[in-house]
Chain A
Amino acid sequence: MNRDKINKFFDKLPTHVIILFTMAVWIIPTVGLLITSLRPPQAVGNTGWWTVLSPPPGAAPYSQYCASCHGADGATLPEADLSNPELVGQYPRSLQLLAALRQDINGQPHMGDIPLPSAQEAADIAVYLRQLSEIDASSQFTFNNYIDALVGYRGRSTYTADCAAGTQPPDINCNTSDLLNPRGMGRAFLNSLILTIPATILPILFAAFAGYAFAWLDFKGRFVLFALLVGLQVVPLQMTLVPISRFYAQVGLNGTFLGVWLFHTGFGMPYAIYLMRNFLGTLPRDLFESAYLDGASHWTAFRQLVIPLAMPAIASLGIFQFLWVWNDLLVALVFLGGTTPVMTYQISNMVTSLGSGWQVLTAAAFLSMLLPMIVFFSLQRYFVRGMLAGAVKG
């Protein structure tokens, strides 16, 4: 019995290895993004995110060259207190540090019998001392990147530090109005929300009407029209952009939410109707028959029967359209651009112009993923169902 179990385990071992390896490849890049977004800028630029849990590179040379006299916390010698920021501030780099180590102290060599550290080690020690004396943030994690990303801070320090010192850039006010700074993710989040909600509701509403007509009403050309719709599902966005943006430019809809709502509605329509019609078509016809026998009109049947019963389809359609609009870049880029930046636009702008470091970029990217992730994982069931029902959208 026991041997059976062991055999079974070894039989399955390759399966486990492959699955766990694939899972690791899938999840590690995202973990790297999350960790990086929580690290202070100096740390992001100097070490990989996977080193967060290992001691800083200066710790080993420090304990090798310095700790025997200065102590592990640097405060053993009161006349040379390495935890004092004023003292450490005089040795910002390996150059000054090595010069000090070469000098004699009270006629004795500074280092005694211990050899001088190499240039690289001295540099690591210098960085380590700055953390020890708390000139640089010694903590491994910070939320400053998220604050910087939200308010669109592009200075050399951090938003909180600059505001405390009163040296903020001219586009920062250091109050809650910064959340609406057009360069920030806070404003972009709001824009994305304003864009996405109507662009999700409108197509579902129209599709529910049309889906009902296709499923339960009889009219000439019903079949041909629906077949045409199936074909329209795969028309690429690129095919329709140019005439619409030219038209919008003429009527002044460029850069307005209304224009993008309508565009997403039109473009999401074929898939939405397809899904709706297929779902509504599976409802039992006795239900409708008895409703009509009771004297219900089509409109009553639609409002009181179809809409409540179609909730599962509406949910999967809603999450589809939500993710599609929220994550879309091309439409936002063409119709909204920089005047009303949404999150995807803001991030793509940060990437291509490389105006900010990785720490802010990763924080911004994570902010943009937050809401879709929540929606996605709480409604995953509906998403999968919708996907299986009509695998063609994108």
Chain B
Amino acid sequence: MNFWERLYLPAIFQGMGITFRHMFKKKETIFYPEVEREFSENWRGMHSLKRDEQGRERCTACGLCALSCPAEAITMIAAERQKGEEALYREEKYAAVYEINMLRCIFCGLCEEACPKEAIYLDGPIVPADYLRKDFIYGKDKLVEEPMKVQQD
């Protein structure tokens, strides 16, 4: 390096010119909670337990999703469908308790591949942050789809 280069100044001024130009460029920030980035079509978010055309829960508590889960995030307790509950559950067996630990889940999507009843899909929003570990264990209250209004009318 010659004396002028060893002073570093020309290179520094060049660099400062570049950073100064960036001050007036369009900001790349997306203001997350207010604005959401567009998700790709096969994006995997929070799980939802689906209902069929008549608004009945599809899940039959076979346990294949829990078995396929590499993170062992899914637990369930099965129960027999009683008389008069035909409008609630499609199969003769259903999940009385269905819990997913969102801190364990790695959103790989193997549960939706394993499901023979097409009952679980990872098509929800981003799982929100929380303060306590126990609040990350999502039960059926958070996972099951809203009953379809059209069917009940």
Q: Do A and B bind each other?
A: no
| Residues of chain A whose beta carbon lies under 8 Å from any beta carbon of chain B | none
| Residues of chain B whose beta carbon lies under 8 Å from any beta carbon of chain A | none
